[in-house]
Structure 1
Amino acid sequence: MISTRYIRFLFLALTFTVGMISIIAVFDGMTSKPTDGLIWRLGLDHVIVESIVTAGPGEKAGLKVGDQILGINHVLVRNPGEAASILMGLQIGFRIPYLIQRGDEIITLELTPHPYRTGDNTLLYSALVGFVFLGVGLYTCLKQPNSPPARIFLLMNLCFLLVLTCSFRGSPYYWIDLLVQNAASWGLTFLGPLFLHFFLLFPKRKPILNRFKALIPALYLIPWIRHFAYTLSQYFGGGLWEQELFGVQIELWAILGIYLIAGLWALMHSYLSTTDPLERRQIKLVLWGTFIGLSPFMIFSVLGAGIFEQRNLFSIGVVPLAVIPLSFAYSIIRYRLLRIQVIIKRSILYSLLTGLFIGVYMVIVHVLGGWVERVTPFGGGFFGVLFVLVFAISFEPVRSRLQQVINRLFFRSDYHRQSTLDKLSRSFRNIEEMGKLARATLHAVDEIFQPEKSSLSIITDRPGAIEVNQFTLQKGKTDERIYKLNEDEPVDFAAEFIQCNGKNITTDNIHIGGVQGVQLERSPDHLKLPIFSHDKIVGLLSLDAKRSGEKYAINELEALEAFCGQAGLAIENIQLLKSIFEANQRLFEAEKLVSLGQLASGVAHEIRNPLSSIKLNIQGLARNMRPDQMNKRRLDIIQREIDHLDHIVHDVLIYARPSGLKIEPVQPEEVIYRTAELLSPDLKAAEHKIVLNFPENFPKVAADREKLHQICKNLIVNAADAMGTKGRLEITGRVFSGKVDLIFNDNGPGIAEEDVSSIFNPFFTTKADGTGLGLANAQKFIQEMNGEITVKSTLKEGAEFTITLPVYQEKKLEK
């Protein structure tokens, strides 16, 4: 097998050879030489005039097509090479004798050589475009020397270079033209087959090549036959067709056109048939570039300048050809065409941009300065000073604007990604709520990378456990779940990339690497990245495969890792603010409760004493009053209202006084079952359904049995009232890290967002006949049991109350 090094050397040598031929052709074409206005047939052992330039020296001297030149300036010539050598040594403007054989007659004619260049500025434009082809093709082949499409691409671009530098010169007349003319023939002959061959391999090998093994050799058969015929015509004259276009026979242009159309068809077929989004973008860019480049060339250069002899249209068609290699180059840079990864340093582009800007400035100063000096009384120095001031003022904004253009052109995805992430990072300063931060992050990540699903897991230390809030975004919908990692058994986190083993888990011993800790996956299809703050993990970001099917690139991973560092600080800041707020809130609540308790106790006593007196007097009136139906009903109403007031006073006193709890081992599912059974008549009447989900061997909790019964009763009654009729209340038990959760989840209308923060405040109620002390007392009892109660709610989806209590631990007596 041929080594990669040898392949690179071989193609470098070929590129060097073609490049040198092109440079020679351009240099010779732009060099002024003496000409006699005669077109000679090359490759023969005598010099025959094949055609004569109109109004040239030969026509003025009376030479005719078919004349054989025997001598020039008293020197015999035997072939075109000798004739060209003698002609190159002549001086322009002097009359030179030509010895001519015309039929059987030998005559002498005198002509005056004129200065002549076979090329003009159009040749320079063509050469510039050709070397763009050369640069892109050579770079592609050197990057992928073992790739057949890359090799064919270089050969195709070399043919483009030969066509652009060697085919569009004026008429040849000495030995360099023999080299250039044959190089042009090679380029035009094999450009078409290479063009079609490349698009049969790009971006993937077409199935037709497997079905017809001889197709590729057949592509090159016609060009070989044609080039052989062209070679013979140089020695024996004539050709397939006598009509020529730019010195090239028409049949060659027809063959080239057929191959180009077939190649574009193959490219279009690839675009329509591919299902890979990245390939589709690559093909689309190349297809448009090829079409835009070839169309003006065929219209203006071939038809306009060649067939209709409008030479001024030629450059209009040549310059757009540069779009073809430039579209390939841009596709390589942006979409990794032919699997070529290009890393362009922005600093280099910015430096080139700055140099270009300064160069344009100097040209403007030079041109306008001279003009001002000629047409105005002011000197050029005055204008220079003025323009320096304008340049100094405009330099920075113009440079910044041009850099943005560079970023959008060459680094569009990087620019959009970085600007979006920077904007999100700046917004972190104004976000104080964790859910808002998570949703903003997921929506930004979804906009930039477009994964099938993304999730942000925020890890919070709790006493003896870790709480993980996982926010997931999929198909535009955000979901939030809370996981509590148990210290007593291995936990397989729902996102399937955290494996926490062992006990006493804290965020300090979740680390990267090692047996214990976080096992992260990182592949081109999906990313799972830790979020750190001061060497402590505070979150995890997970991105599934992209919706487009593209792989994650290295620069995308680097951008995400940098962003995760900023997100880590934002998460820690929010957690710190939240802990400070909760501490202040607890302190405020404690102080408020003390004051409220003292006030409530005094007011309750002042109300209860007169209320008892009223109740006794009403009972006395009832005994002494005649049994009148109306009066009896009124007394009953007064009695019920007094009992209601007495109940409120009783709740206030309970809230105000120390509870005096009796902490004992309590089986929570038994208490909940007993409470639900007690309330079953009312629940059945409203057609409510209660579902209990408790795992086997659910542990006992350290609690006050009666107070826990009151709390559960209050939560069940509240849920039943909220659900109306035919509701569903699911009560679930969960164990984690020495604690249990009792979760009451109903499908009622939910709680308004503005009411959630006040739901446990004393005397806050949304019921017409409520006291606003049920949940306040529940929170008080649970906190006295070393637990906590929390609430989550979504309007129209229901509410969820979670009671967290410690597992009962039996105390062992020391010996």
Structure 2
Amino acid sequence: MPRTRLSLLLSIFGALAFLLALLSIVDILVPRPYDGVVLETDAPGSLRVREVLLGSGAERAGILPGDRIVGIDRTVLRSTGHAAALLARRDIGDSVPYLVRRGESLEEVQVELGRRFIGSASYLFACLLGFSIFGVGLFVRSRQREMRAAQIFFLLSALFLLFLVCRLRPASYGWIDGFVLEAGALALVLLPASFLHFFLVFPTPVPLRPRGGEADFASRRRRWVALLWLIYLVPAAVAALAWIAELRGVAGIRFIAGAPAASWWVLGIYFLLGLAALRINASRLTDPRQRRGVGLVLFGTLLGLGPFLAIAVARPAWLHTDPLAFAALVPLALVPITFAVAIIRFGLLDIRVIVRRSLFYTAVTALVAVVYAAALGLFNAFALGSRLAASPYFPLLLTLAVLLLFEPLRLRSLAWLDRFVLGDRWRLQEEVRELGRAISAQVDLQPVVRELVERLPRMLGLHFAALYLMRDGELVREAGPDTLPERLASIPGLHEALAERRTLVRLADLRNHLAGSAEAVRCLDRLEPTGVEWVTDLTSPRRRIGLVLLSAASGQIALGEEELALLDSLFGQAAIALEASLLLAERTRQAELERELEIASTVQSELLPRQLHFGPGWRVAAICRPARHVGGDFFAELPGRNPESRAIVFGDVAGKSVAGALRMMAAHEALQSLALTHRDPEALFELVNRRLHGAGGKKSFVALAYLAATDDGGVEYLMAGQPELLVRSRDGAVRGLPLQDHRLPVGALREGRYVLSRAPLEPGDLILGYSDGVIEAQSPSGEFFGDERLAETLSAAPPEPDGAIAAVLGALADFTRGSEPYDDITLVALARGGEGEA
């Protein structure tokens, strides 16, 4: 049968069962004239008295259990409906003649009619039990409409409702009475088959579709269908044969609660077979949570239905006798209770239930209060009229009993609730708190990632968790399965949507929210096939840290508002811990880089000569100040054109910091090595140009200046990209030395032409060479130091090289006022006159 048609039929049957149960209760509660006789339900149509209500007209008239009502109001009765019609013509308080058969004698008695109410405490409990079981079945079906086990469970719960409410009701006159009683008896006949059917397909259904490569699927399906026919036909056939035998007057046919005793034996056999099937199915489960849930159902079914069946077969009269009926009905309450707990705690039938703990606490507190009030009422009733009740200390003792016993009982009940009903949720919350404390205690990234990604799936029953961290503007997978993308684009819209929610968001909800962003939808399309269900953003108050991805649950722990709030708090702590770890790693790398730069600065400074030799009668001073730890400026002493002469070269490499320092060292090495074999400055610069240009890179060039003394006291110089040399005469006048027409930096072009120039000098003249970092130094307002200010400073400076350099540095410091320098600064000063060493 198609599932949709079966689902419709089950809905109709459930609605009819519910309406019949309501009709049974309403029929009992409607006020009407009543004699106080409760008829025997196991002898339909015989009008035999099973019980006489205390204080009723029948009791006062002397009617006894076992009597048979033959006539009412001097009319011979044909059926219970005929008796109901006769009584309906009378009013409450009327006295009506009854013809009663007792043994072989007939007797007429006068019965005063009273108000009809035949509901007993045990029947009210049976109604509550029936509706509770039906409520669980209705809830299961509403959550899993197409699951076969859920459909059969709903059918089973509806049959239980009919039996408990319609069949266990006290029998009276009236067609409604007979109709609902027969419906309850029919439900009892159908119960065994549905019971066994359910446990054959629960918790794992019988596969009704071919498995991969299965050749005999059709025969297996036929065997299963034949088994179901047999399961449902046997109870019906046994009941039908018993009813036929009873109609034919076969002796020894016994009825229990309106059904043949043989049907109860069939129910007992099916009960044992169902429990065996459930035990076998449970042994095949691999999920320990489901095994515990099935074990709970097995426990509740065994201890609930077992005593009920035993009492119904061995002591059938107990089912209609208060308070003995409670011995059979109270254990039956374990069936809905264990099923409900198994669904809530273990997620049986693949149902996730999110119930607030506060709601459970309120219900348990109310239940304890009702039980406690009932106990106090009973105690008070027994103590009424006793010496204890007459004592002036009785109210005080009663108050102390309330204070001392109620609160411990309530707390123990709540502890039981936490441990057994909400055990997984309570453990989850404790583990989340413990994980939060563990994460907060870490400062290293690896333990934080390991705690978050390894422990979280075990706690939540997930297939996996994954962590992406922001690196260089994109999200890089730090931990998680290889099925996830290695990198994800950092999409502002996605980040804003997650930051707006500030909680775990389902991937499907996020897709609906970001439907207008094609880039975000593409990102979600990459994640969806991998099994990602939840996404959240890791963000600190200072920056975005990354993403956490969670899969769907492999177990059945449902995430409610309390759990989501705990996880949000956990991820907030994780974001702070990860930020601290990242900051520590960055600071460590920065400290290592600073140490390396200090070493590089030391190495670079050691490349600069401590003393410069230029020639007899010359005094020389030079300084090089990098803008960072290391720089691209340098100065050096090279062999001159003659064997005994020396030359000075200073340069400014393109680039700053580490890159500039590396190019500076390359230029320095090229000059030093080539100058040993090529003393002519023009040839030297051409060779260095080809070497640096061949090194590659658009910035592999260097601005150079070459200075050497001539025999007549002048200088020869070659400028390749450096600013003009300044000459300060003895009287303080400053002039610039002429520059060549072609003075491109070395390495800028493959072929460069460099021309050496000469300039005469007078004794006492001072030459100042400098890099562009001097004239391009900036004040806080952005003004450049400039050529004019340098010339003015040099004019007022002392005539000695050291003094001149100190004057320029002082002027620069006053001008920049502590601003961070933009470029390296190099100064070389040479003064003619006196001894030639400086």
Normalised TM-score (structure 1): 0.54
Q: Distance in 1 between matches of 2:102 and 2:373?
A: 60
Give, as a single letter, the amino acid of the residue that structure 2 aligns with 1:155: L
Give, as a single letter, the amino acid of the residue that structure 2 aligns with 1:422: R
Selected match of 1:219 from 212, 219, 231? 231
Q: 1:214 to 1:575 in 2, by over 3 A?
A: closer
Q: Distance in 2 between matches of 1:35 and 1:170?
A: 11
Q: Quick check: 216-225 or 249-258, which moved more?
A: 216-225
Give, as a single letter, the amino acid of the residue that structure 2 aligns with 1:521: L
Selected match of 1:521 from 527, 533, 543? 527
Instruction: Give the 5 Å matches for 1:376-415.
Output: 376-377=391-392, 406=417, 408-415=419-426
Give, as a single letter, the amino acid of the residue that structure 2 aligns with 1:563: L
Q: Distance in 1 between matches of 2:556 and 2:64?
A: 71
Q: 1:356 to 1:297 in 2, by over 3 A?
A: closer
- Matched position secondary structure for 2:426: helix
Superposition deviation, residue 27 in structure 1: 4.4
Greater Rg, structure 1 or structure 2?
Answer: 2
Find the counterpart in structure 1 of residue 327 from structure 2. Answer: 316
Superposition deviation, residue 97 in structure 1: 5.5
Find the counterpart in structure 1 of residue 539 from structure 2. Answer: 532
Q: Does 1:252 align with 2:256?
A: no
Q: 1:310 to 1:182 in 2, by over 3 A?
A: closer
Q: Does 1:567 align with 2:567?
A: no
Q: 5+ unaligned residues in a row in structure 2: which ranges?
A: 208-219, 500-513, 603-628, 635-660, 667-745, 753-838
Find the counterpart in structure 2 of residue 340 from structure 1. Answer: 351
- Matched position secondary structure for 2:527: coil
Q: 1:251 to 1:551 in 2, by over 3 A?
A: closer
Find the counterpart in structure 2 of residue 331 from structure 1. Answer: 342
- Matched position secondary structure for 1:531: strand
Q: Distance in 2 between matches of 1:107 and 1:174?
A: 24
Q: 1:26 to 1:295 in 2, by over 3 A?
A: farther
Give, as a single letter, the amino acid of the residue that structure 2 aligns with 1:538: I
Q: 1:276 to 1:467 in 2, by over 3 A?
A: closer
Give, as a single letter, the amino acid of the residue that structure 2 aligns with 1:377: P
Q: Distance in 2 between matches of 1:121 and 1:87?
A: 26
Q: 1:537 to 1:33 in 2, by over 3 A?
A: same
The answer on whether the counterparts of 1:40 and 1:51 sit within 8 Å (CA) in structure 2 is no
The answer on whether the counterparts of 2:52 and 2:63 sit within 8 Å (CA) in structure 1 is no
Instruction: Give the 5 Å matches for 1:10-409.
Output: 10-11=12-13, 13-24=15-26, 27=29, 33-35=34-36, 69=70, 71-86=71-86, 89=90, 96=97, 98=99, 109-110=108-109, 120-169=120-169, 172=172, 174-206=174-206, 210-226=222-238, 228=240, 236=247, 238=249, 241-246=252-257, 248-275=259-286, 280-304=291-315, 313-346=324-357, 348-352=359-363, 374-377=389-392, 406=417, 408-409=419-420
The answer on whether the counterparts of 1:451 and 1:545 sit within 8 Å (CA) in structure 2 is yes
- Matched position secondary structure for 2:333: helix
Superposition deviation, residue 178 in structure 1: 1.7
Give, as a single letter, the amino acid of the residue that structure 1 aligns with 2:582: Q
Q: Distance in 1 between matches of 2:53 and 2:128?
A: 32
Post-superposition Cα deviations, 1:756-808, rounded to whole Å, max 9, x if no partner, equal: xxxxxxxxxxxxxxxxxxxxxxxxxxxxxxxxxxxxxxxxxxxxxxxxxxxxx
Q: 1:585 to 1:398 in 2, by over 3 A?
A: farther
Q: 1:227 to 1:147 in 2, by over 3 A?
A: same
Q: Distance in 1 between matches of 2:103 and 2:410?
A: 70
Q: Does 1:438 align with 2:449?
A: yes
Q: 1:400 to 1:564 in 2, by over 3 A?
A: farther
Post-superposition Cα deviations, 1:677-735, rounded to whole Å, max 9, x if no partner, equal: xxxxxxxxxxxxxxxxxxxxxxx987989xxxxxxxxxxxxxxxxxxxxxxxxxxxxxx
Q: Which has the higher contact order (CA 8 A, sep 6+)?
A: 2
- Matched position secondary structure for 2:353: coil
Q: 5+ unaligned residues in a row in structure 1: which ranges?
A: 475-493, 596-657, 664-699, 706-809
- Matched position secondary structure for 1:156: helix
Superposition deviation, residue 23 in structure 1: 1.7
Superposition deviation, residue 280 in structure 1: 4.1
Superposition deviation, residue 558 in structure 1: 8.1
- Matched position secondary structure for 1:538: strand
Q: Distance in 1 between matches of 2:100 and 2:324?
A: 40
Q: 1:526 to 1:550 in 2, by over 3 A?
A: farther
The answer on whether the counterparts of 1:140 and 1:150 sit within 8 Å (CA) in structure 2 is yes
Superposition deviation, residue 408 in structure 1: 4.7
Q: Quick check: 204-213 or 251-260, which moved more?
A: 204-213
Q: 1:239 to 1:217 in 2, by over 3 A?
A: farther
Give, as a single letter, the amino acid of the residue that structure 2 aligns with 1:211: R
Q: 1:24 to 1:219 in 2, by over 3 A?
A: farther
Give, as a single letter, the amino acid of the residue that structure 1 aligns with 2:573: Q
Give, as a single letter, the amino acid of the residue that structure 1 aligns with 2:21: G
Q: Distance in 2 between matches of 1:62 and 1:460?
A: 94
Find the counterpart in structure 1 of residue 834 from structure 2. Answer: none
Post-superposition Cα deviations, 1:580-634, rounded to whole Å, max 9, x if no partner, equal: 6777899999999999xxxxxxxxxxxxxxxxxxxxxxxxxxxxxxxxxxxxxxx
Give, as a single letter, the amino acid of the residue that structure 2 aligns with 1:271: A
Post-superposition Cα deviations, 1:411-462, rounded to whole Å, max 9, x if no partner, equal: 433332232222332444443333443344345325414667766566567x
Superposition deviation, residue 80 in structure 1: 3.5
Superposition deviation, residue 154 in structure 1: 2.1
- Matched position secondary structure for 1:203: coil
Q: Distance in 2 between matches of 1:701 and 1:594?
A: 11
Give, as a single letter, the amino acid of the residue that structure 1 aligns with 2:99: Y
Find the counterpart in structure 2 of residue 730 from structure 1. Answer: none
The answer on whether the counterparts of 1:432 and 1:574 sit within 8 Å (CA) in structure 2 is yes
Q: Distance in 2 between matches of 1:359 and 1:334?
A: 25
Q: Distance in 1 between matches of 2:204 and 2:664?
A: 71
Give, as a single letter, the amino acid of the residue that structure 2 aligns with 1:178: G
Superposition deviation, residue 567 in structure 1: 0.7
The answer on whether the counterparts of 1:533 and 1:568 sit within 8 Å (CA) in structure 2 is yes
Superposition deviation, residue 194 in structure 1: 1.6
Superposition deviation, residue 132 in structure 1: 0.8
Post-superposition Cα deviations, 1:34-58, rounded to whole Å, max 9, x if no partner, equal: 25687699776xxx66678799979
Give, as a single letter, the amino acid of the residue that structure 1 aligns with 2:254: Q
Superposition deviation, residue 301 in structure 1: 4.5
Post-superposition Cα deviations, 1:180-225, rounded to whole Å, max 9, x if no partner, equal: 4312211211111121222333334436654243333333334444
Q: 1:427 to 1:215 in 2, by over 3 A?
A: closer
Give, as a single letter, the amino acid of the residue that structure 1 aligns with 2:196: L
Q: Distance in 1 between matches of 2:275 and 2:111?
A: 50
Q: Does 1:416 align with 2:427?
A: yes
Post-superposition Cα deviations, 1:655-676, rounded to whole Å, max 9, x if no partner, equal: xxx999999xxxxxxxxxxxxx
Q: Distance in 2 between matches of 1:245 and 1:41?
A: 6
Find the counterpart in structure 2 of residue 768 from structure 1. Answer: none
Identity of aligned residues (%): 25
Post-superposition Cα deviations, 1:219-278, rounded to whole Å, max 9, x if no partner, equal: 3334444555676688x5746842333454311211222222232233233223345666
Q: 1:156 to 1:363 in 2, by over 3 A?
A: closer
Find the counterpart in structure 2 of residue 498 from structure 1. Answer: 486
Give, as a single letter, the amino acid of the residue that structure 1 aligns with 2:297: V
Find the counterpart in structure 2 of residue 484 from structure 1. Answer: none
Superposition deviation, residue 386 in structure 1: 8.4
Give, as a single letter, the amino acid of the residue that structure 2 aligns with 1:574: S
Q: Distance in 1 between matches of 2:280 and 2:49?
A: 46
Q: Distance in 2 between matches of 1:43 and 1:158?
A: 24
The answer on whether the counterparts of 2:49 and 2:66 sit within 8 Å (CA) in structure 1 is yes
Q: 1:662 to 1:514 in 2, by over 3 A?
A: farther
Give, as a single letter, the amino acid of the residue that structure 2 aligns with 1:448: M
